[in-house]
Structure 1
Amino acid sequence: MKNSVRALGEHFLMYDITLFTPQDMAKCSLVLRHLGRNTASMEASSQKIVNYIYRHFCNSQTGENSCALVRLFKTHPYGELEDSLQQSARRLMKGNSPTADMKCLTLLAAAGPEPQWNSRHTAAENTAIPLVSTKLVAQMPAISEIIRQFGLDIPTFLGIERKRFLQLEPAVLNIFHVSEAKGSPFIPEQNSLIIPYQVKSVLGFGGLLPSGSVFAVVMFLKVKIPHNTAEMFKDLALSVKTALSMPDKKSVFEDSETPTSFVTNNNIYETQLLEYQVANLMQLLDFSEQEMLRQATRLQQTIDNLQCELAEYKNKEQALKVSESSFTGILNIPKDAIFRAEDQGIQRFNPGEEQI
């Protein structure tokens, strides 16, 4: 397995998102799922994920990167943020006082063509967006749309309704798709990112983590993609969730001074890790079966459509033969002059007309 993952991670493996297939999805999913191994923090896993997506999604003809920028966000309690992130959050709070448990949509990693875009510290003007209340979040078009397309409600997104969150966590893996990025109210940074870097579509995918957080990978694409292609990325959301959850008991940020320690008893940790891996494999199997059913349904619909078209063609062909047979019989009457005329003139005539 390790050798196959290593082979799949080589640079020659590229994905053209305009020609993305279930086979490409399976290969990409396998690589992403293993990027959380041997990392010291969730931030390190996140950086591996965005780097892989940015480098390996390319135009198959030119080799040019399909993404102008890739970012990975996670909701995080304000009280557990480092000072620079807390300052970023306070700048946007407009006089509201932060609480320790207030969720902030926090940038964990980014990758793009500009040097400053490849560090979470410099990749965006606001690296921690405070989610002060349900009322204020509802007034944020971009975040509200992500919540809606993920199939969540604002209280669940903020972690207010913990019981409902725990019920939804295993199942919520979804996409955020804006087909036309330019001029969209759901995509900020129009003048600094969307227009100058010719971003055509935006695709995000993510879900809920066992720790009580929401994660989202956002791809700013230089190509326009339809919704049926975007929907395939639900499967990648599970792989990213697996990669991020592996270090869930470690520090979130790479330079954190107070990381959460591993469970000291290795046997307990190994048991918990195995249980988590089994749960994720079961979830992955469910997703694979659902994808197989979707593909089988599409294939059956295609077959049914082809059969209908074939039957219609045969009916038209038979009707044409009957019509031709009837008309030929009329034309073969030798005594009378008979001809068929259309807008272009006389098309056919019988021997009687020929003699005349």
Structure 2
Amino acid sequence: MFDLSAFRLPDMALCSTTVRRLGEGAASIEDAAGRITRYLYANLTTGPDDEPACVLVRLFKTHPYGRLSPELQALVDARLGDKPANPGMKCLTLLASTGAVDGWNNPAQSSRFRAIPLSGPDALATLPMFSQLFAQFHIDLPFLENASSSLLLDQYATTFNAFYVPQALNSPYVPGQEDFVIPFGVQSVLGCGGILPTGEMFALIL
């Protein structure tokens, strides 16, 4: 376990090495993602009783609409309303989730974040945290809707970036103040991610 109040460079090296190995032998990308969120939730601790330091750990990845399951396509269609979905349209999907509430441990129970269509520059207008995440990751919108297109990365940015909201309370970028931030004592939000060789984006949010 790693006490975040005393987290040092050797701890970071050990933790990152372990995380990189969690995908070995995984049956699917969802399986690997689940291993990562469970590991971080269980092993990032705080206080003398080694309480979990994170209320919620989630891992997202973009997928083209045409490669989503029928169930996820239906969720995307519901968000789009009358607007038809292009098969190449990028959608941000929740691969894995681990948290302090039982319902947070199954992505299928997430009604809001399970599949988010990234259909244009206004797609994240109602999701301020993701809007800020994309900005800090240097990901440009709108997304190209060609099936072979990838997300656009700022030429001066790296392919791996960090996302950080130092104070979650009253932050316009962290939704659910009354039912999430305040009752669970969320102090901050930290994320990392970037562009995969396939051109898809991933984001790990704690």
Same fold (TM over 0.5): yes
Q: Distance in 1 between matches of 2:158 and 2:4?
A: 25
Q: One-letter code of the match for 1:191?
A: E
Q: Say whether residues 1:133 and 2:123 are aligned partners.
A: no
Q: Say whether residues 1:34 and 2:21 are aligned partners.
A: yes
- Structure of higher CA gyration radius: 1
The match for 2:104 among 88, 101, 117 is: 117
Q: Say whether residues 1:15 and 2:14 are aligned partners.
A: no
Three-state SS of the structure 2 residue aligned to 1:117 is: helix
Three-state SS of the structure 1 residue aligned to 2:51 is: coil
Equivalent position of 1:96 in the other structure:
83
The Cα of 1:44 is off from its aligned counterpart by: 0.5
Aligned Cα root-mean-square deviation (Å): 2.3
**Larger strand percent:** 2
Task: Check the 8 A contact 2:57/2:99 in 1, yes or no.
Answer: yes
Structure 1, unpaired ranges of 5+: 1-13, 220-356
Equivalent position of 2:205 in the other structure:
218
Q: One-letter code of the match for 1:205?
A: C
Q: One-letter code of the match for 1:34?
A: R
Aligned pairs for 1:139-288 within 5 A: 140-155=127-142, 158=143, 162=149, 165=152, 171-219=158-206
Equivalent position of 1:66 in the other structure:
53
The match for 2:44 among 25, 39, 57 is: 57
In structure 2, the CA distance between the partners of 1:163 and 1:66, relative to structure 1 (3 Å rule), is closer
State the TM-score, normalizing by the size of structure 1: 0.53
In structure 2, the CA distance between the partners of 1:84 and 1:192, relative to structure 1 (3 Å rule), is farther
The match for 1:45 among 15, 25, 32 is: 32
The Cα of 1:115 is off from its aligned counterpart by: 1.8
Q: One-letter code of the match for 2:20?
A: R
Q: Distance in 2 between matches of 1:186 and 1:159?
A: 25
The Cα of 1:198 is off from its aligned counterpart by: 1.4
The Cα of 1:37 is off from its aligned counterpart by: 0.7
The Cα of 1:166 is off from its aligned counterpart by: 8.2
Q: Distance in 1 between matches of 2:150 and 2:163?
A: 24
The Cα of 1:89 is off from its aligned counterpart by: 1.6
**Larger helix percent:** 1
The Cα of 1:144 is off from its aligned counterpart by: 2.1
In structure 2, the CA distance between the partners of 1:185 and 1:121, relative to structure 1 (3 Å rule), is same
Q: Distance in 1 between matches of 2:17 and 2:144?
A: 30
State the TM-score, normalizing by the size of structure 2: 0.88
The Cα of 1:39 is off from its aligned counterpart by: 0.9
Task: Check the 8 A contact 1:151/1:172 in 2, yes or no.
Answer: no
Q: Distance in 2 between matches of 1:185 and 1:167?
A: 25
